[in-house]
Each structure stands twice: as C-alpha cells, then as structure tokens.
Amino acid sequence: MHKKIKWANIYLWFVFILLYLPIFFLIVYSFNAGDVMQGWDGFSWKHYGELFADTRIAEIVVSTLLLAISASLISSVIGTAGALYVYNLRNGVMKNVFLSLNNVLLVSPDVIIGASFLVFFTVLGFSLGFTSVLLSHIAFTIPIVVLMVLPRLQEMNQSLIAAAKDLGANNWQMLTRVVLPVISPGILAGFFMAFTYSLDDFAVTFFVTGNGFSTLSVEIYSRARQGVSLEINALSAVMFVVSLIMVLVYYAISTRAEKNKKRATHLMLVASEGL
C-alpha cells in the first residue's frame, strides 16, 4: 500500500514538473539581458521596460481585460439563469436534451466554433471587431457557467425552499434570499472559469476579430510568427502571475465561503437543539 502511494506521488510530481518547467524557463529568460532564448547574457529588467513602454500592448491588455470581464459577467448571468431553468425542468427528456446541447458546446473544438461564428457573422453582414468577439466569447462561456452552477443547485437542501414558502416568500424573494446565496460559490467559480477561458482564447478570437481589434493571444501569435522576442516572455510572465493571483483570490474566497457555510450550519443545529 505504501509503495503504491509513493509511486503515485512520484508520478504526480513528474506531471507537475512536465507542465511547469516550460513556464519556468519562459519566466527565467524574461530576465535575460540578451534578445533571444539562446544563452544567458546576464540579469536584466529591460524586456519588462520595453513591455510597459509598448503602448500597443497596453491598449491590447485593456481591451482584452474589458472583453474578458464583460463576457464573463454576461455569461454568468445567462448561465445561472440557464442552470436554474434546466434544474426546474420536470420533463426528464427535455432536461437531458438541454444538458446534451450544453455539453456539445463544451467538447466542440474551438476551431469549429470560431469558423461557425465567422460564417454566421458573414451571412448576417455583421462587422467583425470587439462586438463580434464579445458575442462569441459569451456563447462559448455560457456552457461553462451552467456546468459550474448546476451541481450547486442539485446539492441544495430542498428544505430551505420549503421553509421559505412556508414563511410566505414569493418567487423573487426565494431566488434572491435563498437560492442565489446558496449557489453563489458555483456562480463565482463559473465567473472565474469564464474569465480565464475568455482571457486566453485564441482559436475563436482569431476567426471573428477584425477592424484593428486584437487580444493578447492573437497579438502574441502575430508577433511570434515574426520571431520570438523576449518581450513576449515578459508579457507571458506577467499574465502567469496575474492568473496565479486570481487562483489564490478564488481559493481564499471559496475557503471563506465554505467556513461561513459550516458555521451557519453549526448555528442552525445548535438552535434546533435548543428548541
């Protein structure tokens, strides 16, 4: 038994090293005084200086963040509403149909989704740019939010709904004061997942962008085709740090929410025992 656990740990460390080693080299060479990833010419911050002095990159960072925040907020609202609708469906066949359609979008290749949206916008005569990218990102992040929220709804204690009804709460009050607070960790997780997917998406964005609008992923790809600059390493290092901070923030929020949930449950048990 101990040998199995030991080999499992070794395999786990091997996977993590394999995943993070390229990122480690990318970050290390962002501090290289040279201009290429061949040889070490000394420590330098010059590539970060070039990065923060690059006005085009600054504009693209702002546009990418605005796009990701907008897409994740809208998809969180629509995805949560969709999860509530699917959860409340009493027809088992229709529920399975909606879940299957949702899962199809999750497993569909990004290239297919991007090409489909390109054809769709072209047929409609829709101008490609920020709006087309935003609509596309909303469309492919909604299923992610549904997938994160639906399990929370299924885990929800139905006695809470019954108690709210007994106390005379209407549907809006049950939604805002009972259901949404209970499933808020799922909504938060869906928002962060949607934000991450939107932030680093390349394939879909590449198909539907235009009119001078670009995102970080498309810009990095365009610059890499002309030769990998260590300014790209610096940009990637900054993006990695930002993503790491987001993960830590989400972990802190979810941990705090879980502690509050346990504390509330404990208080309810104490109150019920007192009665």
- Work out the average pLDDT over 239-250: 81
CA atoms within 13 A on the CB side of 153: 20
Q: pTM for this structure?
A: 0.78
Q: Domain for residue 13, yes or no?
A: no
Total of domains in the chain: 1
Residue 73, domain member (yes or no): yes
Query: Binning pLDDT at 50, 70 and 90, where does residue 244 land?
Result: confident
Q: 69: domain CATH number?
A: 1.10.3720.10
Domain that includes residue 234, residue range: 53-257
Stretch 247-260: mean pLDDT, rounded? Answer: 76
Distances (CA, A) of 117 to 69, 122, 167, 247: 21, 8, 48, 30
Q: What is the pLDDT of residue 271?
A: 52
Query: Mean of the pLDDT values across residues 224-233?
Result: 75
Q: Which residues pair with 43 in a beta bridge?
A: 32
What is the mean pLDDT of the segment spanning 142-163?
85
Residue 237 has pLDDT above 80, yes or no: yes
Q: Can you tell me the distance from the alpha carbon of 72 to that of 142, in angstroms, rounded to the nearest whole number?
A: 8
Helices 130-155 + 180-200 axis angle, to 10:
140
The DSSP string of 118-177 is: HHHHHHHTPPPSHHHHHHHHHHHHHHHHHHHHHHHHHHS-HHHHHHHHHTT--HHHHIII
Give whole-number Cα distances, 89 to 83, 95, 96, 97, 151, in Å.
10, 6, 10, 11, 15
Cβ-based burial of 168 (10 A; exposed 0-12, middle 13-18, buried ≥19) = exposed
Residue 243 resides in a domain: yes
Domain assignment present for 266:
no
- Is the pLDDT reported for residue 228 higher than 70? no
Per-residue pLDDT, 227: 67
Write down the mean pLDDT value for the chain. Answer: 82
Residue 3 lies in a domain: no
- Asked if residue 262 belongs to a domain, the reply is no
Tens digits of residue pLDDT in 28-87: 888 887 777 777 778 888 888 888 888 888 888 889 989 999 999 999 999 999 999 988
- pLDDT band for 135, please (50, 70, 90 cuts): very high
Report helix, strand or coil for 210. Answer: coil
* Cα dist from 91 to 19, 153, 155, whole Å: 44, 17, 19
| Confidence band, pLDDT 50/70/90 cuts, at residue 1 | very low
Helix count and strand count (H, E) for the chain: 12, 0
Amino acid at 271: A
Does 198 map to a domain? yes
Q: Which residues contact 39 (CB under 8 A, 6 or more apart)?
A: none
Identity of residue 36: V
267 or 22: which carries more pLDDT confidence? 22
Is residue 267 domain-resident?
no
Among residues of the chain, what percentage have pLDDT more than 70? 90
